[in-house]
Chain A
Amino acid sequence: MAERRPFSVTRLPGFTAIALVTFALLYAPIVTLVAYSFNGSESIAVWGGFSWRWYGIAWQNTAVQEATVRSLVIATAAAAIAGTVATLAALGTTRTDRFRGRTLIYVLVNQPLMVPEIVTAVALLIFFSGIRLATGYAGLGYLILAHSAFCVPFAYLPIRARLEGMDLSLETAASDLYADRFQTFRHVTLPLMAPGIVAGVMLAFIISLDDVVITEFVKSAGQDTLPTYMLGQLRRAVTPEVNAISTALLALTVLLLTMFFLLTRKRD
């Protein structure tokens, strides 16, 4: 089964060394960050023994609490909206006969992946301030809408991949076995695409949770999310509290990504 390839890059001289250096460069900063989150001293550079101290301080910090809740609210809402839009878009681009402009729609749906984030951020800032002037509304709605928009392609790609991998004859078989169009969708298409939807929603959630640039431009005063709060903290005195918050965020992201991987891996 494991057929020996005539050429393998792993046998080139220096392969192991280059791989080790690459991984070291990728992970050394993160490992340092995590290690210093358990620092007992006041400084982020001087080791003062192992301690949960900064986790306690971050946990007690009302600004951190508020920012965390706000981040989770926005990410949940944005993931739900992006997941719905992406599901409909994926169905529309895989379960219809070829139509003119289908490639264009594919490009349009994935726009946030191609337009520089700073451009989107400035555009949204100008666009939303117009609406704010006209309506007077200054709530979280702007952030939720903005996050939903840039999360759509991240939700769309895994859902579309799942639909494209699905045997079309399954839906034909359902209709052959007396299922009408809604029943076919409810009993065959939806259950089979569900892992794709869950994966897409989780990816959208992580992307929203992590966003700085667009949030920084769109948020009103007092609407800090966890990442923008951390950015704000870095401008003042930096304590290992930032390390602790970062590590917590990292842990959550790794957990979600692991679940994403488990859901999207191919089953045999």
Chain B
Amino acid sequence: MVPPSLQPAAGPSETPRIAVEARNASKAFGQGDALTRALDDVSVAIRKGEFFTLLGPSGCGKTTLLRLIAGFDTPTGGSILLNGRDITADPPNRRPVNTVFQSYALFPHLTVLQNIRFGLDMLGRKRAEADARAAEMLALVRLEGFASRRTAQLSGGQQQRVALARALAPEPEVLLLDEPLSALDLKLRKEMQRELKRLQRETGITFVFVTHDQEEALTMSDRIGVMQGGRILQIGPPREIYNQPANRFVADFIGETNFLDGEVGAIAGDTATIELAAGSVTVRSAGLDRGQKVTLAIRPEQVRIGEAEGLPAVVTGNVYFGTDTHCHLELSGGAGVVARLQSAADDATPLGEGTAVRVSFTPGSVQVLAD
């Protein structure tokens, strides 16, 4: 439970201000049999000043949604609103929204400074004002001294910073980031993740970030929208997405999950018994009916291995990861389960293959997904 003092300032009665909103937005390509719905009736409201991530596998529609917000594509249905105003028909150059492109799309014929000034120049800002703002942006992304370089002379990480500075310079209402870190190596990516969070905090600009990397989404976002097949499956803060996935896809896509098929047995008050092939598990009964087919989702770190109570199982193998060990188990009845055991200094040797054990789950950690 979160203590009251740590809860967000905006109480449940106060509606947060919405920066950008998609209302029943659809985008279809092609016609007839070749028709593909890249985006299928999507509605999402992104709050002012939040770091919002659109997360999903490639082809899920996340980039399409981003392009609709930027104005590079027009929706085949629905509308896009910015600060409550319908901007669906506005061309990209009339939208106070800027984009950091996956390929960076820096202008190769211009210097770093000219790239950063580009938006300000197009807006007709005064020369001195644009210069001052561009210098400020160079400092913000820590590229002072690179002003007169050609973009081709920069490393990938530096080009990334220029792209960020260029998009932030005109002070957009919303900054769109299309998988901006995917071209960087792991170490640089981690560094840029922190850098992006810092820039978002310092500028207070609403960030809409697109990624297929679930770890990136969990570590950086205020809220995440998980997408698949042109739809948004779940919207929520990282903890909620991770701990209470709305369905099997979300549970499977975010982190690792054990899935166990079962059926609702006896319901007594607010607890229900789920009958599995290996035995029974007690969960909260809210929303369940007797006889209903369900899937249980349990994170590997919530799986406990003991000897006294729980479902009978046999160890089938161990995989060592340094910080922890994955213990693979087979429940009686054949279902596989992975348990994550943290490595401790006094850690004993792992359980040998074939060891008979009992498997239980941390109370309250079992998610019941309706099939």
Contact = CB atoms under 8 A, between A and B. Distances in A.
Contacts of B94: 178
B302 interface: no
Contacts of B103: 167, 169
B109 A176 contact: no
Interface residues of B, number: 23
B320 interface: no
Given A191-B109, A192-B108, A177 B98 contact: yes
Interface string B160-186: 000000110010000000000000000
Interface stretch (B118-126, B138-146, B230-238, B360-368): B118-126
Given A176-B93, A177-B170, A188 B123 contact: no
A172 B70 CA distance: 10
A77 interface: no
A191 B72 CA distance: 22
B72, B98, B118 interface centre (most CB from chain A within 10 Å): B118
B122 A179 contact: yes
Interface string B76-113: 00000000000000011110011101010101110000
A267 B153 CA distance: 12
Given A167-B103, A169-B101, A178 B122 contact: yes
A169 B108 contact: no
By secondary structure, the B interface counts as mixed
**How would you classify the secondary structure of chain A's contact residues: helix, strand, loop or mixed?**
helix
Interface string A141-179: 000000000000000000000000001011011111111
Interface string B218-241: 000000000000000000000000
Given A174-B118, A175-B72, 5 more contacts: A173-B101, A177-B170, A180-B91, A191-B109, A267-B152
23 contacts: A167-B103, A169-B101, A170-B108, A173-B101, A174-B118, A174-B122, A175-B72, A175-B91, A175-B93, A176-B92, A176-B97, A176-B167, A177-B98, A177-B122, A177-B166, A177-B167, A178-B94, A178-B170, A187-B118, A188-B107, A191-B109, A192-B108, A267-B152
Contacts of A179: 93, 118, 122
B90 to A, nearest CB: 11
Nearest to A166: B108
Contacts of A177: 93, 98, 118-119, 122, 166-167, 170
A188 B123 CA distance: 16
Nearest to A192: B109
Contacts of A178: 93-94, 119, 122-123, 170
A183 interface: yes
Counting chain A CB atoms within 10 Å of each CB, which of B105, B109, B119 scores highest? B105
Nearest to B70: A176
Q: Which of A169, A176, A179, A183 has the most CB of B within 10 A?
A: A176
Contact of A172 (B105, B109, B118, B152): B105
A172 B170 CA distance: 16
B119 A167 contact: no
Contact of B93 (A167, A180, A191, A267): A180
Contacts of B105: 167, 169-170, 172-173
B72 A172 contact: yes
A179 B117 CA distance: 12
A242 to B, nearest CB: 45
B27 to A, nearest CB: 16
Given A167-B105, A170-B107, A192-B108, A176 B122 contact: no
Interface in A183-197: 183, 187-188, 191-192
A192 B107 CA distance: 9
Which of B70, B103, B122, B152 has the most chain A CB atoms inside 10 A of its CB? Answer: B122
Nearest to B121: A187
Given A169-B101, A183-B122, A175 B107 contact: no
